[in-house]
Structure 1
Amino acid sequence: MKSRFYAYNFGIPLACAALVFLMFDMTRIDIAFSNLLFDPMTQTFPLDKIHFFEKLTHKWARIIPNWTAEIALVGALLSLVWPLVNPHMRPRLGAMLDRSKVAPVLRFAADHRRDFLFVVVAFALCTGVIHFLKSHTSVYCPIETTLYGGKMAHIEWYSNFQLFHEAGSGRCWPGGHASGGFTMLALYFVARRYQWRFSSAILWGSLLLGFVYGTTRVLQGWHYMSHTFWAGIFVWLACLLTALAFYGRARLDVPVLSKRTQKAFIAQSEVSL
């Protein structure tokens, strides 16, 4: 069971990384695809000039991950309030909060403090990892390179990677906008912990959101398609490692709700006997 967990959760993304590297980074597929979207007559990517498309896919789309991160942060802060209230020591205050319908919210936040903190930390680490890779590879976006009317040379990330210092001013690899959608994968690990019925939907929905975010930027000439795949791989690994640190492998492999259900079933069986 343990080996299967690691093989599935680490093996698949690492295999995807090898596949993306061989299929895209070692070939010219990225450039060939972007060539189809580029208008050589006007030296532009036509969709980059449509203001509404930019606002819809780049500005408004950020609402989903931004609001999720803000809700998680508020939840984490509220989770600290209920222990301070301590209704056993302050019954009048507890009664007042119950009447105002605030107490259930505070209790819920306190009960799920670890989950709120996990989402906050996972989002922060995902953002940090993507920012580190961007600054330490200094890859320029297609629209900025001489291939598509820009002034900067086209380079591959692996030829310019610097581990201990910034590699330059380029900030295009991996896809930052795509990573914003992929960070919603953090919710999948919360859902997996509690064995929520819709956990698979959250997984595939988060992957789809990241791919949609990334693809729209590809259509505008601000990323290559492989940048989206790399963003998804790194965000998954960052979320997975954070989830292991917060919950442990056993809790992710055997969700909490499953254990509770099993205990309830055993207790009910003993009562019936």
Structure 2
Amino acid sequence: MSARFYAYNFGIPLFCAAVVFLMFDMTNIDIAFSNLLFDPLTNTFPLDKIHFFETLTHKWARIIPNWTAEIALVGAMLSVVWPLVNPQKRPGLAGFLERCKVAPVLRFAADHRRDFLFVVVAFAVCTGVIHFLKAHTSVYCPIETTLYGGKMAHIEWYNNFQLFHEAGDGRCWPGGHASGGFTMLALYFAARRYQWRFSSALLWGSLLLGFVYGTTRVLQGWHYMSHTFWAGIFVWLACLLTALAFYGRARLELPVLSKRERQVFSAQPEATL
């Protein structure tokens, strides 16, 4: 069972990484695709000049991952309140919170403290990994390079990678906007902990969201298509390693259960955070 888990969760993304590297980084497919979106007469990517498209796909789109991270952070902070209330020692305060309909929220947060903390940490780890790679490869976006009217040279990430110090001012690889959508994969791993039957929907929805986020920036000339794929690979691995640290492999590899089976399974004791 464990071999299948590792083969699926590590093997597939590593295989995808090899395919993306050979298919995109070692060829000119990225440039060929961006050439289709570039208007040589105006020397611009037309969609980059449409204000509404920029607002809709780049600014408003951030609402989903931003709100998710904020809700998780608030939940993590609220998770420590109910144990401090201690209804047995402070029945008056507990009764007041019950009457105000606040107690159920506090109990829910306390029961899911590990999950809220996991989402917060997973988002932070994903962001840190992407920012590290951006700074230590210094790849410039297509629109910034001489290929499309910019001033900077086009350089592949592997030609400029520096492990121990920043490689330059470029910040385009992997795709940052795409990674924002892919970080929603953290919810998939939390759902897997509870063997939720809609966990697959969260998986594919998060992958689709990241792909859409990344593709819109490709259309504007601010990324190559491979940048989106690389963002998805790194975010998946970051979320997976964080989930293993929080939940353990045994919990994550269990099959999805029906509602009744899940209730029975949830009643089983589990180490608290």
Q: Shorter-chain TM-score: what band?
A: over 0.9
Partner of 1:270 in structure 2? none
**Matched-pair contact (CA < 8 Å) for 2:98–2:104:** yes
**Is the CA contact (8 Å cut-off) linking 1:194 and 1:255 kept in structure 2?**
no
1:205-216 to 2 correspondences below 5 Å? 205-216=205-216
Which residue pairs with 2:270 in the alignment? none
Cα distance in 2 between the residues matched to 1:264 and 1:212: 38
1:14 corresponds to which residue?
14
How many Å apart are 1:46 and its aligned residue?
0.2
Q: 1:193 touches 1:257 (CA, 8 Å); kept in 2?
A: no
Secondary structure of 1:44's counterpart equals coil
Can you give the 5+ residue segments of structure 1 that lack an aligned partner in the other structure? Answer: 268-273
Q: AA paired with 2:128?
A: G
Q: Which residue of 1 aligns with 2:236?
A: 236
Instruction: State yes or no: 1:157 paired with 2:124.
Output: no
Q: SS at the partner of 2:118?
A: helix
Match of 1:247 in 2: 247
Match of 2:31 in 1: 31
Distance 1:247 1:86, change over 3 A: same
CA RMSD of aligned residues (A): 1.8
User: Is the 1:193–1:256 Cα contact (8 Å) retained in structure 2?
Assistant: no
Contact 2:145 2:152 in 1 (8 A): yes
Rate the CA distance shift 1:155–1:86 in 2: closer, same or farther, 3 A: same
Q: Any idea what the Cα deviations from partners look like across 1:152-200, whole Å, max 9, x if unmatched?
A: 0000000000000000000000000000000000000011111112111
Structure 2 distance, partners of 1:132, 1:66, is 20
Q: Which amino acid aligns with 2:26?
A: M
Q: Whole-Å Cα distance in 2 between the matches of residues 245 and 161 of structure 1?
A: 28
The whole-number CA distance in structure 2 between the counterparts of 1:109 and 1:210 is 28
Task: Give the deviation of 1:257 after TM superposition.
Answer: 6.7
Determine the C-alpha separation between the residues in 2 that align with 1:263 and 1:135: 46
Rounded Cα–Cα distance in structure 2 between residues aligned with 1:257 and 1:195: 6
CA distance in 2, matches of 1:136, 1:264: 48
The question of 1:199 aligning with 2:199 is answered yes
| Counterparts of 1:263 and 1:174, CA distance in 2 | 40
Match of 2:100 in 1: 100
Residues 80 and 256 from structure 1, CA distance in 2 versus in 1: closer, same or farther, beyond 3 angstroms?
farther
TM-score for the superposition, normalised by structure 1: 0.95
SS at match of 1:168: coil
Q: Does 1:2 align with 2:11?
A: no
In percent, how many aligned pairs have the same letter? Answer: 89
Relative to the length of structure 2, the TM-score reads 0.95
CA contact (8 A) 1:193 1:255 kept: no
Q: What displacement does 1:220 show?
A: 0.1
Change (3 A) 1:12 1:187: same
Contact 2:138 2:169 in 1 (8 A): yes
Structure 2 contact 215–225 (Cα < 8 Å) conserved: yes
The answer to whether the 8 A contact 2:183-2:206 is kept is: yes
Q: Which secondary structure does the structure 1 equivalent of 2:106 belong to?
A: helix
Structure 1: distance between partners of 2:51 and 2:193? 41
- Alignment partners' CA distance in 1, 2:163 and 2:104: 48
Alpha-carbon distance in structure 1 between the residues aligned to 2:73 and 2:54: 28
Mapped to 1, the partners of 2:141 and 2:22 lie a distance apart of 20
The answer to whether the 8 Å contact 2:194/2:262 transfers is: no
- Mapped partners of 2:245, 2:66: distance in 1: 23
CA contact (8 A) 2:196 2:256 kept: no
Unaligned 5+ runs, structure 2: 268-273
* Within-5 A mapping of 1:169-180: 169-180=169-180
* Contact 1:182–1:206, Cα closer than 8 Å, also in 2: yes
For 2:32 and 2:106, the matched residues in 1 are separated by 54
Alpha-carbon distance between aligned partners in 2 of 1:183 and 1:75, rounded to the nearest angstrom = 18
Matched, 1:134 2:134: yes
Structure 2 residue identity aligned to 1:30: D
Question: Which residue in the other structure is 1:42 paired with?
Answer: 42
Structure 1 outlier segments of 4+, above 4 Å: 255-258, 262-265
Amino acid at match of 1:133: L
Shift in CA distance, 86/21, structure 1 to aligned 2, threshold 3 Å: same
Distance 1:105 1:50, change over 3 A: same
Aligned partner of residue 59 in structure 1, secondary structure: helix
